[in-house]
Amino acid sequence: MNWIRALMLAVLLAVVVQTASPLPARVDDTPPAVAAKPAPAVVDDKGFDSLGGDRIRAHIVKLTSDEFEGRGAGTEGGMLARDYMERAFRSLGLKEAGTEGFRQPFRTKGRGRSKATDLDLCNVVGILEGSDDELKKQYVVIGAHYDHLGRRNGTIYPGADDNASGSGTLIEVARAFTLGERPKRSLLFIAFDGEEIGLLGSRHFVKSPTVKDEALVAMLNMDMVSRGPDGDLWLSGVSESSAMKAAVEAAAPLAELKLHFEHEREWRQSSDHGPFADAGIPFLYFGVPDHEDYHKPGDTADKVNETLLLRASRVVYLTARAIGNAASAPEFGE
């Protein structure tokens, strides 16, 4: 009779298996080959939400088109870029802050290839006034140079990363601040000319500021912010001011960025933040290391990284907002 009991047991087991809930699939505890993308940053700010890499890229495409002929300082293409920045500032409703409307024209001698040439150059300067009656008398400078190398031996050097990326980001950060809540301090947006031939625009502004020089409390500079991994940006200036360092380090996670500081000292004079640093004004420089297309005709708009552009604009926006709203201005060398 053992075979009858075995048969009955088999039937009973089959019934239990059919009526029971299915077993969960085995969990694979092997680490994924690619880390999961972090959740989108959440910031309760209309201006922050308005930022977009596609919008910045559209400016880059325009500024690197053939009509601008590489935006050489003092050339017709450079003047077209000046006009483009001026129109953008005006359309955003910024307040004129140059010596002639938005313009701060100046004549100077060039350096390098333009060393023996008298050049008529022009910074473009606009203000977004702060919301606090007293603190609005202080200014946080947000800048980027719009010039590049122009045309050499008949070849256009478009300068997409260097520095149409910074110029486009400057416009979009300014636009974002017109949509969001204004910081307590005023924001001074400057598109510099002549960076490629000796930081001429920023040197001129620091020497002849269009606002009271003692009211300049900080400077954020963007130069080459579109080539490289999605989430990596390099900085200089964090060792000069603990308040500036704290502001950008608080902003970075919200912008989904990893900050790199290994060029901190090396880059201190590498772009338009240099003259501000020399004047004892706390600064932060945002950029990426030189790449294979640096100062070459291959620096074209099709190679920019929209995700990096978005995240760079976000970290600049949040850092400027924090400095603009801080109870006290950052100190240099603290």
- Quick check: is 201 in a domain? yes
Per-residue pLDDT of the chain (334 residues; tens, 9 = 90+): 444 444 344 434 343 334 443 333 333 333 333 333 344 445 789 999 999 999 999 999 999 999 999 999 999 999 999 999 999 999 999 999 999 999 999 998 766 555 557 899 999 999 999 999 999 999 999 999 999 999 999 999 999 999 999 999 999 999 999 998 999 999 999 999 999 999 999 999 999 999 999 999 999 999 999 999 999 999 999 999 999 999 999 999 999 999 999 888 888 999 999 999 999 999 999 999 999 999 999 999 999 999 999 999 999 999 999 999 999 999 998 6
CA separation for the pair 131, 230 (Å, rounded)? 34
Domain that holds residue 73: 42-325
Contact present, 127 and 188 (Cβ < 8 Å): yes
Residue 76's domain is classified under what CATH number?
3.40.630.10
In a domain, 333, yes or no: no
Residue 228 lies in a domain: yes
What is the residue whose two structure tokens read 């060393």?
115
- Cα separation, 124 vs 193, whole angstroms: 8
Determine contact, residues 213/93, Cβ cutoff 8 Å: no
Confidence at residue 116, expressed as pLDDT on a 0 to 100 scale:
56
The pLDDT score that the predictor gives to residue 265 is 83
State residue 30's pLDDT score: 31
Whether 290 is in a domain gets the answer yes
Q: Output phi, psi for 148, to 5 deg.
A: -140, -150
**pLDDT value of residue 109:** 74
* 25 domain-assigned: no
Output the DSSP codes for 237-300.
-TTT-HHHHHHHHHHHHHTT-EEE-TTTTTTTTSSTHHHHHHTT--EEEEE----TTTTSTT--
Residue 57 has φ and ψ, to the nearest 5°, of -60, -35
**pLDDT for the residue 15:** 38
H-helix segments, 111-198: 165-179
Q: Assess if residue 93 is contained within a domain.
A: yes
Q: Structural domain tally of the chain? A: 1
Give me the pLDDT at residue 118, please: 85
- Whole-structure pTM value: 0.86
Is 162 a member of any domain? yes
| 105 domain residue, yes or no | yes
- Read off φ and ψ for residue 131, nearest 5 degrees: -95, -15
